Copies of this chain bind each other. A is one copy, B any other.
Amino acid sequence: MAVSMDDDVPLILTLDDSGSSTSAPLDAMDREELPNENGGSYDVIHDASSPAAGDCCAQQSSARHNWEMNYQEAAIYLQEGENNDKFFTHPKNAKALAAYLFAHNHLFYLMELSTALLLLLLSLCEAPAVPMLRLGIFVHATLELFALIVVVFELSMKMRWLGFQTFIRHKRTMVKTCVLFVQFIEAIVVLVRQTSHVRITRALRCIFLVDCRYCGAVRRNLRQIFQSLPPFIDILLLLLFFMVIFAILGELYLWKVNVFFQYFNTLENSLVNLFVLLTTSNFPDVMMPSYARNPWSCVFFIVYLSIELYFIMNLLLAVVFDTFNDIEKRKFKSLLLHKRTAIQHAYRLLITKQRPSGISFKHFEGLLRFYKPRMCARERYLTFKALNQSNTPLVSLKDFYNFYEVVGLKWKAKRNREHWFDDLPRTAFLIFKGINILVKSRAFQYTMYTVVAVNGVWILVETFMLQGGNFFSRNVPWSYIVFLTIYGVELLLKTTGLGPVEYLSSGWNLFDFSVTLFAFLGLMALAFNMEPFYFIVVLRPLQLLRLFKLKKRYRNVLDTMFELFPRMASLGLTLLIFYYCFAIVGMEFFAGVVYPNCCNTSTVADAYRWVNHTVGNKTVVEEGYYYLNNFDNILNSFGKGSFVCSKDYSLEGVTSQTTHWSRLYFMIFYIVTMVVMTIIVAFILDAFVFRMNYTRKNQDSEEDNGIVLEKEISKEEVIGIIELYKRISAATETAQLQKIVLQMDKYGQMSAVFLGRRSRTKSDLSMKMYEEEIQVWWAVDEVCSRLTSSCAQGLL
């Protein structure tokens, strides 16, 4: 890295000469072998100022330098393939490479993230601020300017890496630049005027968060949302169309019959009420007055709700679900092809002129040094062996295609002993063996289930009997201690019987462990009367979740739940980002609009009432509470976001205090929430249906513990690699490998077996589900690439 950071050295980009590569003699010296593409993009020509040395030596050092460059570029290609970064953002020269490396590490990412968060959190302190966090205008404007300058720095690094042309073409970055520009000007204006103006543009601050490296999942979600939009909007139009028809019907016919005096007196009211009816939040209320006068008017509502709520809303879901399904598959396909292309790019950089049929371990090792710097020498070799399906010492392109599947494996020496206590003396062994058998027996398991069930019933009865007594008495209830003791003993038995490593390798055991631990902490809290930790005690009922292990469907459901969790979190974050935008806009428009007793002239006066009057000698507070749903600061505005549309009181309350156009805000908010929610539902549906289909298809292989590969390496191989490492004088690697040789010598083995293991990802499942289709994709891709290359060679 340090090499190419030196900007004084002139850098020239040379084109590759792969066309002539096959003509090179195959029996050339291994040490002097040249990369197939001369140093890829970052070829360095040493000028006269480079340290004078023997010609041969200079050439050799240059070759090694070239190789290092190639390794690095190949690693970058592979990373791009993994992260689904497009190749047109691939750094094109050494200067770009330096910027790329600077901008692609966790420190930089963290800086990005913290800047974005700082900008978002500033809304807490800017007027109208959360009272506790109010900051002076000078302070928060300076903070903002500082954060924006950091963003400018980030963007300049990006421009350096991408080059001006690509930078301009990269849409997301351009949007970010524009937003940055606007924010900059506004921040300066605030600083100069020393007063905040209406800044709806603050809602755009989200883009800084979305652009963060760590928010890739959010970007993916947003892309998916935008892709689902066209069909969604089509159906939404249908929905609105029926709404308009019913609004006209409601206004013309039903109002004429003088029934809906307040709800349907104008077309606008009619529309708004039908819209709110879609959320069912005003349901019987909107219907009761008309129903009181003419029972048949309920037909209007029933037909409306059947068409809109039960038919078209489901249609929305169906369309989104279908689009989602389709997009998921296409995304999977494009990702797969992208990875394949990345592998091809990397492969071309790693083969030599002398041996164009595959990658030797030396070069593979060089690649991994850049791709996964933390990997130890043993794992590198095992990965190489796992990839290499043929008996030759080279990894062919076909083998190399499995790179991503294999590189994630965690390698461990296969234990010869079955249990952790096999090496212990006879007596201890027998005891532990007994415990092991006991712990693994069905009887033990079902006893524990019974205990959990009894515990559950106990808690229920206890809670029921309590009826308002003080649960948190200073005396710890004896049942608590008894059950905790049983769980503790179980934990102890399992840990000793299975060994801590095996015990904690199962997610369910981990769950048991943490719940028991929490229960113990709760006991401590009770015993030492530490009030703030009381909440731990109430987590006890979670122990009951263990019962769901009993049935396969629940295991499936809970497993899927855990698998879905990261994706759900990212979807939640996406929703929060939308909420943030709406919160800012709401705050700018409606801050200070709603307060206790604000709406006494409107129809929702009750909901906002706050009266403090005296009956007899007691002070009675009549509260409508809805005044709490205000937009007075970002937290309230945000909180409001999460439930604003479930009640039309807020809508009416705010509308009665402002203009009718504020209804638009609530409607748009509801629709956006609906879009995201529908996509969340479609996502959950898709995930579960996929899972269920998968289990149905693979009923035979019931319990799978992820992907496992077994590889054997002999002593000679290890010694061979040590030689190799010695030649490039890599001391740590040599030491690591020598340890293995020592181990083998100790046990008198001629070879050692290693197990590579990783958990199954969604991609693996999809690979298995679409097995046949993938073959077709490959074939098509093959033909396409061949056609393109023939075109390029002027054969067509």
Contacts and interface: CB of A to CB of B under 8 A. Distances in A.
B311 A561 contact: yes
A625 B289 CA distance: 7
A649 B265 CA distance: 26
Interface in A639-679: 639, 642-643, 646-647, 649, 677
B684 A551 contact: no
A132 to B, nearest CB: 12
Interface of A: 231, 234-235, 238, 241, 244-245, 248-249, 251-253, 255-256, 265-267, 280-281, 283-285, 287-289, 291-292, 295, 298, 302, 306, 310-311, 314-315, 317-319, 321-322, 325, 459-460, 463-464, 466-468, 470-472, 534-535, 537-538, 541-542, 544-545, 548, 551, 553-554, 557, 561, 568, 572, 606, 623, 625-626, 628-629, 635, 639, 642-643, 646-647, 649, 677, 680-681, 684-685, 688-689, 692-693
A541 B244 contact: yes
A646 B286 CA distance: 13
A317 B248 contact: no
A314 B288 CA distance: 31
A691 to B, nearest CB: 9
A534 B253 contact: yes
Contacts of A244: 460, 541
B256 A288 contact: no
Nearest to A465: B267
B680 A310 contact: yes
A625 B322 contact: no
Contact of A685 (B235, B251, B317, B470): B317
A459 B249 CA distance: 11
B302 A642 contact: yes
Contacts of A623: 289, 292
Nearest to A230: B553
Nearest to A265: B468
Contacts of A681: 310, 314, 317
B463 A251 contact: yes
A309 to B, nearest CB: 10
A742 to B, nearest CB: 52
A559 to B, nearest CB: 13
A467 B684 contact: no
A680 B470 CA distance: 46
Contacts of A554: 234, 238
A626 B291 CA distance: 11
B252 A538 contact: yes
Contacts of A235: 557
Contacts of A625: 284-285, 288-289, 291-292
A689 B471 contact: no
A557 B459 contact: no
Contact of A467 (B266, B284, B643): B266
B639 A295 contact: yes
Contacts of A606: 606
A674 to B, nearest CB: 13
Contacts of A256: 470-472
Given A295-B639, A310-B677, 18 more contacts: A231-B553, A234-B554, A245-B542, A248-B541, A249-B541, A266-B468, A267-B463, A284-B649, A285-B625, A288-B625, A288-B626, A292-B623, A314-B681, A315-B684, A318-B685, A319-B688, A322-B693, A606-B606
Contacts of A647: 283-284
Contacts of A548: 238, 241
B541 A692 contact: no
B310 A628 contact: no
Nearest to A642: B302
A545 B237 CA distance: 12
B234 A551 contact: yes
B318 A639 contact: no
A464 B265 CA distance: 11
Nearest to A325: B689
Contacts of A557: 235, 238, 315
Central interface residue in A241, A626, A639, by most chain B CB within 10 Å: A241
B321 A689 contact: yes
Contacts of A291: 625, 628, 639
A707 to B, nearest CB: 26
A413 to B, nearest CB: 41
User: What are the 6 tightest A-B residue pairs by CB atom distance, in nearest-first order?
Assistant: A288-B625, A318-B688, A314-B684, A245-B541, A322-B692, A318-B685
Contacts of A281: 280
A249 B643 CA distance: 22
Contact of A646 (B284, B325, B472, B689): B284
Contacts of A311: 561, 568, 684
Contacts of A467: 266-267
Contacts of A684: 311, 314-315, 318
A469 to B, nearest CB: 10
Central interface residue in A265, A649, A689, by most chain B CB within 10 Å: A689
A257 to B, nearest CB: 10
A464 B288 contact: no
A647 B282 CA distance: 9
7 contacts: A241-B545, A241-B548, A245-B544, A266-B468, A280-B646, A288-B625, A322-B692
Contacts of A649: 284
A241 B544 contact: yes
A137 to B, nearest CB: 26
B317 A538 contact: no
A284 B640 CA distance: 10
A252 B464 CA distance: 10
